[in-house]
Amino acid sequence: MDTLSEVMQVLRERGYTTDFNLEQNCLVCSNGKYRLMHDEFSIDKTYRFEGESNPDDEATLYAISSDKYGIKGILVNGGGIYTDELADEILAALEIKRK
């Protein structure tokens, strides 16, 4: 798996079907149905992608699960000038747990 889209497809096949979005202090999914605080989910795997010719093409893909809500999904944070500073702050504050 070399590309972001290839990894996303494999993760979806493995049950990571929810798309997570960031809000001020939590992850949100399912049109706001779930609001996950930092202690309600785990980062199962992190994938980093770098652009071949442009450092602004960087991205990080997080495979995330929540035992509390019984959901698994993904969060993508862009790199370079597109990085989401809010995402960086929230994700840096988390304890990364690998299953």
Residue span of the structural domain in which 10 resides: 4-92
Whether residue 8 is contained in a domain is answered as yes
Whether residue 97 is contained in a domain is answered as no
Of all residues in the chain, the percent with pLDDT exceeding 70 is 71
CA distance 67 to 40: 8
The model's pTM is: 0.80
Whether residue 99 is contained in a domain is answered as no
pLDDT tens for each residue of 46-73: 898 886 655 556 888 999 999 999 999 9
Higher pLDDT, residue 27 or 12: 12
Could you give the angle at the alpha carbon of 10 between the alpha carbons of 20 and 15, nearest 5°?
A: 55
Task: Count structural domains, the chain.
Answer: 1
CA distance 1 to 51: 15
Whether residue 15 is contained in a domain is answered as yes
Chain centre distance of CA 92: 12
Model confidence at 33, in pLDDT bands (50, 70, 90)?
confident
Q: Give the pLDDT mean for 29-47.
A: 88
